């Protein structure tokens, strides 16, 4: 099995890369910029797991770069069985304090780039009549709160798009699902103030940060044959947030 994972160099994407590798997936590990430490990491992981992990570098905000990156993936002449649309960006700001330029920037990465990846990769999946696409969304796209107008609305858009894509691609044997993580122990997960983090914990059954590896296990399940009858769904992994 072969998987494309965006944002593989850190956070949830990095955990997904490790989890998939340990479960014998060959991986195209996508990241924005080359890094010696990242390439050393994937070389060690590849050897220890006995799988192929190829770095693919491109900026999701650059449409031509995305096309070139996917062309590089297709050049390996292997099936693309799984796409994990993980890379994204956070932003905090109220309606009145969020410039439209920032809104465009967030949507460029969190929505438009994700759609572009689905369009390009689904072409290969359509030809092979199989595939699993997993979009990393967020509970921030389900809850409505102050101060996250750009991030929350972009993730809400991805939840809708995930379901719409599932309807359109199902006839080609392609499943499309999303994962909505709650507060997770990553760099992005710590952008909230300590006070805001405590407020989240106060209304969460399991009062701690989620681990990236716990989100990765959800992605592994959705990618597997064990989830063969699941599509158009959003798997919430949030420790039991009570709204």
Per the residue annotation, which of 57, 76, 151, 191 is the catalytic one?
A: 151
- For residues 107 and 145, what is the distance between their CA atoms, to the nearest angstrom? 18
- For residues 48 and 85, what is the distance between their CA atoms, to the nearest angstrom? 25
- For residues 145 and 91, what is the distance between their CA atoms, to the nearest angstrom? 13
- For residues 31 and 29, what is the distance between their CA atoms, to the nearest angstrom? 7
Q: Can you give the three-state secondary structure of 1-28, one letter per residue?
A: CEEEECCCCCHHHHHHHHHHHHCCCEEE
SS3 content of the chain, % helix, strand, coil (to 5): 50, 20, 35
Q: Please state, as a whole number, how many other Cβ atoms lie within 10 Å of the Cβ of residue 142.
A: 17
151 is catalytic: yes
Instruction: Please list the active-site residues.
Output: 151
């Amino acid at each position: 099995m072969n998987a494309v994972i965006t944002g593989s160099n850190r956070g949830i994407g990095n955990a997904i890369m490790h989890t998939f590798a340990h479960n014998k997936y060959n991986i195209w590990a996508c990241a924005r910029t080359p890094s010696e430490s990242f390439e050393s990491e994937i070389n060690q992981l590849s050897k220890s797991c006995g799988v192929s992990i190829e770095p693919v570098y491109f900026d999701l905000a650059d449409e031509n770069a995305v096309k070139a990156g996917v062309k590089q993936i297709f050049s390996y002449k292997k099936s693309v069985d799984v796409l994990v649309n993980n890379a994204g960006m956070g932003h905090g700001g109220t309606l009145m304090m969020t410039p439209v330029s920032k809104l465009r920037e967030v949507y460029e990465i969190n929505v438009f780039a994700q759609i572009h990846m689905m369009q390009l990769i689904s072409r290969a999946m359509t030809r092979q009549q199989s595939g699993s696409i997993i979009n990393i969304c967020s509970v921030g796209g389900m809850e409505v709160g102050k101060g996250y107008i750009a991030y929350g609305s972009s993730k809400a858009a991805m939840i809708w798009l995930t379901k719409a894509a599932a309807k359109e691609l199902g006839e080609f044997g392609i499943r499309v699902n999303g994962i909505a993580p709650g507060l997770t122990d990553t760099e992005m997960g710590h952008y909230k103030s300590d006070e805001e983090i405590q407020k989240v914990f106060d209304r969460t059954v399991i009062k701690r940060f989620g681990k990236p590896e716990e989100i990765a296990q959800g992605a592994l399940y959705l990618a597997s044959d064990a989830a063969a009858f699941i599509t158009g769904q959003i798997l919430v992994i949030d420790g039991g947030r009570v709204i």
